[in-house]
Amino acid sequence: MNIILWILQSILAIKLLTAALEHGFRQDKPEMVGAIQKLGRTSIVLLYLTTLASFFGALALILPGLIGWPPIVTPLAALAVAVLLLASIPLHLRSREKPKIFVSLVLLVFAIIIAIGRW
């Protein structure tokens, strides 16, 4: 079970890091520009907050097991990531990004499994 949880944590951390890069540094992509226009100017602040949350969530999923932080950090991080992913679904719906909803749901399931498994 530990190996499966580490695999899920790695997949989720990698996806969170790529999401942080996408939302933080590639806001000039046509898809991002369209979503920003649909969601309004406050979406830029929201994207930067999402970037920070994704980055620190990815670190909090992996680092506790590697450097000896208290083990409670991982399930708490997984719960925080689950809340972040749950909040992303209505925003993706509002900006009409249907494939992103499926990815968010799958990653949400991963985060819930990690939170329960590491608790």
Domain segments of the chain as ranges: 2-118
pLDDT of 2 strictly over 90: no
Q: Flag whether pLDDT at 27 surpasses 70.
A: no
Q: Cα angle at 38 between 35 and 42, to 5 degrees?
A: 85
Alpha helices in 40-72 (DSSP H): 42-67
Of 75, 83, 85, 58, the closest CA to residue 113 belongs to 75
Q: Is pLDDT above 70 for 19?
A: yes
Task: Write out the two tokens for 18.
Answer: 């790529």
Could you tell me how far CA 102 lies from the centroid of its own chain? 13
Which residue has 């997984």 as its token pair? 78
Separation of alpha carbons 64 and 41, rounded Å: 36
- pLDDT tens for residues 67-116? 888 888 889 999 999 998 888 888 777 776 666 778 888 989 999 999 99
Q: What is the DSSP letter of 69?
A: -
Measured between alpha carbons, how far is residue 66 from residues 40, 54, 69, 70, 111 in Å? 40, 19, 8, 11, 19
Could you give the CA distance from residue 74 to residue 115 in angstroms, rounded to a whole number?
7
Q: How confident is the model at residue 30 (pLDDT cuts 50, 70, 90)?
A: low
DSSP 62: H
